């Protein structure tokens, strides 16, 4: 999973899978879910993210994964 914030557009993309998106559905104003060919959720796009998501802190708890941090 990757979280990418784009300050120039104030958008946050949460990449849940390496599979490409083939379909997108806007579920609320500025929130789009991306699905692969099998109908699995592969990403979440949030416009005006700073108004919808608390971006100042990220907490990870009990994830069974390696965690990599990339400074902006």
Which pLDDT tens digit goes with each residue over 5-60? 999 999 999 999 999 999 999 999 999 999 999 999 999 999 999 999 998 888 87
Q: Is the pLDDT of residue 64 over 90?
A: no
Any idea what the Cα angle at residue 43 is, between residues 38 and 46, rounded to 5°?
A: 145
Q: Is the pLDDT of residue 71 over 70?
A: no
pTM: 0.86
DSSP characters over 14-72: EE--SSPP-EEEEEETTEEEEE-TTS-EEEEEETTHHHHS--S-----S-SS-------
Burial class (CB within 10 angstroms; exposed 0-12, middle 13-18, buried 19+) of 53:
middle
């Amino acid at each position: 999973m990757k979280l990418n914030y784009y300050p120039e557009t104030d958008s946050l993309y949460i990449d849940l899978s390496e599979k490409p998106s083939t379909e997108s559905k806007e579920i609320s104003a500025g929130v789009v879910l991306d699905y692969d060919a099998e109908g699995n959720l592969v990403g979440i796009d949030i416009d005006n993210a700073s108004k919808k998501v608390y971006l100042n802190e990220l907490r990870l708890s009990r994830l069974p994964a390696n965690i990599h941090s990339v400074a902006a």
